[in-house]
Protein backbone atom coordinates (compact mmCIF):
# COMPACT_ATOMS: atom_id res chain seq x y z
CA UNK A 1 0.00 0.00 0.00
CA UNK A 2 1.01 3.58 -0.59
CA UNK A 3 1.94 5.95 2.19
CA UNK A 4 0.49 9.45 2.33
CA UNK A 5 1.90 12.37 4.27
CA UNK A 6 -0.11 15.55 4.61
CA UNK A 7 1.55 18.84 5.44
CA UNK A 8 0.27 22.25 6.46
CA UNK A 9 -3.00 21.06 7.99
CA UNK A 10 -4.75 23.52 10.28
CA UNK A 11 -4.24 22.34 13.86
CA UNK A 12 -7.81 23.12 14.93
CA UNK A 13 -9.21 21.24 11.96
CA UNK A 14 -6.93 18.28 12.71
CA UNK A 15 -8.03 18.21 16.37
CA UNK A 16 -11.68 18.26 15.31
CA UNK A 17 -11.00 15.50 12.78
CA UNK A 18 -9.25 13.42 15.47
CA UNK A 19 -12.23 13.96 17.78
CA UNK A 20 -14.58 12.86 15.00
CA UNK A 21 -12.45 9.77 14.35
CA UNK A 22 -12.54 8.88 18.03
CA UNK A 23 -16.34 9.24 18.08
CA UNK A 24 -16.50 6.88 15.10
CA UNK A 25 -14.18 4.42 16.83
CA UNK A 26 -11.63 4.61 14.02
CA UNK A 27 -8.08 5.84 13.70
CA UNK A 28 -7.15 8.86 11.65
CA UNK A 29 -5.58 6.57 9.03
CA UNK A 30 -8.73 4.43 8.81
CA UNK A 31 -10.93 7.48 8.31
CA UNK A 32 -8.67 8.97 5.64
CA UNK A 33 -8.50 5.58 3.90
CA UNK A 34 -12.31 5.39 4.02
CA UNK A 35 -12.66 8.91 2.60
CA UNK A 36 -10.27 8.11 -0.25
CA UNK A 37 -12.17 4.90 -1.10
CA UNK A 38 -15.53 6.67 -0.96
CA UNK A 39 -14.21 9.49 -3.13
CA UNK A 40 -12.99 7.03 -5.76
CA UNK A 41 -16.24 5.05 -5.65
CA UNK A 42 -18.23 8.27 -6.07
CA UNK A 43 -16.09 9.15 -9.08
CA UNK A 44 -16.66 5.70 -10.61
CA UNK A 45 -20.40 6.00 -9.97
CA UNK A 46 -20.42 9.40 -11.64
CA UNK A 47 -18.60 8.03 -14.71
CA UNK A 48 -21.03 5.12 -14.88
CA UNK A 49 -23.99 7.49 -14.65
CA UNK A 50 -22.62 9.58 -17.53
CA UNK A 51 -22.17 6.45 -19.68
CA UNK A 52 -25.67 5.22 -18.83
CA UNK A 53 -27.21 8.60 -19.70
CA UNK A 54 -25.39 8.52 -23.03
CA UNK A 55 -26.69 5.02 -23.78
CA UNK A 56 -30.23 5.98 -22.81
CA UNK A 57 -30.03 9.04 -25.05
CA UNK A 58 -28.86 6.88 -27.98
CA UNK A 59 -31.64 4.36 -27.38
CA UNK A 60 -34.28 7.08 -27.21
CA UNK A 61 -32.92 8.67 -30.39
CA UNK A 62 -33.16 5.35 -32.24
CA UNK A 63 -36.63 4.68 -30.85
CA UNK A 64 -37.73 8.07 -32.14
CA UNK A 65 -36.28 7.32 -35.58
CA UNK A 66 -38.00 3.93 -35.61
CA UNK A 67 -41.30 5.53 -34.59
CA UNK A 68 -40.99 8.09 -37.39
CA UNK A 69 -40.24 5.32 -39.91
CA UNK A 70 -43.22 3.29 -38.68
CA UNK A 71 -45.50 6.31 -39.00
CA UNK A 72 -44.33 6.89 -42.58
CA UNK A 73 -44.89 3.25 -43.45
CA UNK A 74 -48.33 3.32 -41.86
CA UNK A 75 -49.28 6.45 -43.83
CA UNK A 76 -47.96 4.86 -47.03
CA UNK A 77 -49.96 1.72 -46.36
CA UNK A 78 -53.14 3.75 -45.79
CA UNK A 79 -52.62 5.69 -49.02
CA UNK A 80 -51.92 2.49 -50.93
CA UNK A 81 -54.99 0.83 -49.43
CA UNK A 82 -57.18 3.78 -50.47
CA UNK A 83 -55.78 3.66 -54.00
CA UNK A 84 -56.46 -0.06 -54.18
CA UNK A 85 -60.03 0.51 -52.99
CA UNK A 86 -60.52 3.12 -55.74
CA UNK A 87 -59.18 0.66 -58.31
CA UNK A 88 -61.53 -2.06 -57.01
CA UNK A 89 -64.58 0.21 -57.17
CA UNK A 90 -63.63 1.31 -60.68
CA UNK A 91 -63.29 -2.29 -61.82
CA UNK A 92 -66.65 -3.24 -60.20
CA UNK A 93 -68.53 -0.31 -61.71
CA UNK A 94 -67.47 -1.17 -65.27
CA UNK A 95 -68.83 -4.67 -65.08
Total number of domains in the chain: 1
* Per-residue buried b or exposed e for 1-22, using 16+ beta carbons within 10 Å of the residue's own CB: eeeeeeeeeeeeeeeeeeeebe
21 falls within a domain: yes
- Which residues form the domain of 50? 11-93
6 falls within a domain: no
82 falls within a domain: yes
85 falls within a domain: yes
16 falls within a domain: yes
Q: How confident is the model at residue 84 (pLDDT cuts 50, 70, 90)?
A: confident
Global pTM value? 0.51
CA 78, chain centre distance (Å): 38
pLDDT of the residue at 55: 97
66 falls within a domain: yes
37 falls within a domain: yes
C-alpha distances in angstroms, 86 versus 8, 80, 83, 89? 89, 10, 5, 5
Amino acid sequence: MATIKVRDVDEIALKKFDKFCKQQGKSRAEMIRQYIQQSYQSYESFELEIRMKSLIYDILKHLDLNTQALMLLTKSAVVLEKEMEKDDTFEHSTE
